[in-house]
Amino acid sequence: MLIGRCAWHPRYRGYPRWNGITSWQGWRVQFTDGICQHCLDRLLREYRERLAVRAAATAGGVRTAA
Ligand SMILES: [Zn+2]
């Protein structure tokens, strides 16, 4: 039995999130880490913010010769 879980949920929400049973095959319980839509949205938002900050820092700091 394979159980999907969100690897980012504990970090973002403070508790784990189970995405359900991925596979019923086998008798042993195993886990597979993935990401749920909520955490994916947040991850992408943070990523874009970080890129914007870096772009702003680069634009204000290093100047390239024209
Ligand atoms: Zn999540």
Give 27: exposed, middle or buried? Use CB within 10 Å, 0-12, 13-18, 19+: exposed
The overall pTM is greater than 0.85: no
CA of 28 relative to ligand 1 center, distance in Å: 24
CA of 40 relative to ligand 1 center, distance in Å: 7
pLDDT-derived band at 66, boundaries 50, 70, 90: low
Runs of H (alpha helix) within 1-66: 9-13, 37-60
CA 49 to chain centre: 14
Query: pLDDT by residue (tens digit) across 21-58?
Result: 888 888 888 878 889 899 999 999 999 999 999 988 88
